[in-house]
Amino acid sequence: MGDGRSNIQFLVKGFFMEKKRFFTGTQIAGIIIFILVGLTCTIGLIMAQIAKASMPIQIVIPASGLSDSIFDAQNSVYEADADFPVEHQFEHLSDVVDVPNRQTAMMGNGTFWRITDGFYVYISEGKRSSFADAVFSETAPILLTGADKKSTDGQLVKSEKGYLNGREFDYVVFDIICNVGEKTTEAYIVGYLYEDSESGYSTLIACVTEDISTNGLLNAQIIAQKEATLLHTPQEKK
């Protein structure tokens, strides 16, 4: 009986001693290293995500859609579009252009049609030599109340020449940043500049977008190109 009790006590004592020796010093060190490596990797992934989020977004400026073909230079076809039902007349050009039936605002020689907040159809006319300054001074107050040429930085970021629907255009893309107090607004102006040889005046048919992304600029280019094809003589509509 006594030997049986002693055996039980021995077994119980041995069990707890084994439990105490479950993790050796080497094993504990390995576990700690494993945890530290895991934490380091996790922190590294988090920092990489933060760095990626803070990197400037690469914006691709869309192609112009202009052609250097003699056939595009010498042939034009006017096709009315139900989305552009209003005829816009110029002060100095004999041509007209179809525009959307939307709210308008006038700045200088420019007229803006608001398609959505932050997206506008923009048409202006003037002398070619002063067009860049006019574009910035006309667009600034549309983007940000109180903005003017002095509070605006702008630059031409792309220019290309070619033919579209029987006319020669300059494809132009401007980046514009307006600052008033603590408010800042950036936008891109994507458009087609046409010079009328008879009057000596030019017209810019463009879209203004505050969507600073590749897709935002592409949408602006598509609508601006469509607008440019709707430039026509009054006789063509009859």
Does the predicted model carry a pTM greater than 0.85? no
pLDDT band at 16 (very low <50, low <70, confident <90, very high): very low
Question: Which pLDDT belongs to residue 162?
Answer: 96
| Average pLDDT score over the chain | 85
CA angle 186, 191, 193 (to 5 degrees): 130
State the average pLDDT over residues 217-232: 96
Question: Which pLDDT belongs to residue 176?
Answer: 95
Question: Which pLDDT belongs to residue 48?
Answer: 65
Question: Which pLDDT belongs to residue 51?
Answer: 58
Question: Which pLDDT belongs to residue 143?
Answer: 94
Lowest model confidence (mean pLDDT) among 12-21, 118-127, 142-151 = 12-21
pLDDT tens profile 47-103:
767 655 565 678 899 999 999 998 888 888 889 999 999 999 999 999 999 999 999
CA distances from 9 to 5, 18, 19, 21 (A): 6, 14, 15, 18
Lowest model confidence (mean pLDDT) among 14-18, 90-94, 191-195, 225-229 = 14-18
State the average pLDDT over residues 201-214: 96
CA angle 162, 167, 169 (to 5 degrees): 45
Residue 182 pLDDT more than 50?
yes
pLDDT band at 2 (very low <50, low <70, confident <90, very high): low
Question: Which pLDDT belongs to residue 52?
Answer: 56
Contacts of 59 (CB under 8 A, 6+ apart): 212, 213, 214, 217
Residue 238 pLDDT more than 90?
no
Sheet containing 231-232: order of strands: 86-89, 96-99, 231-232
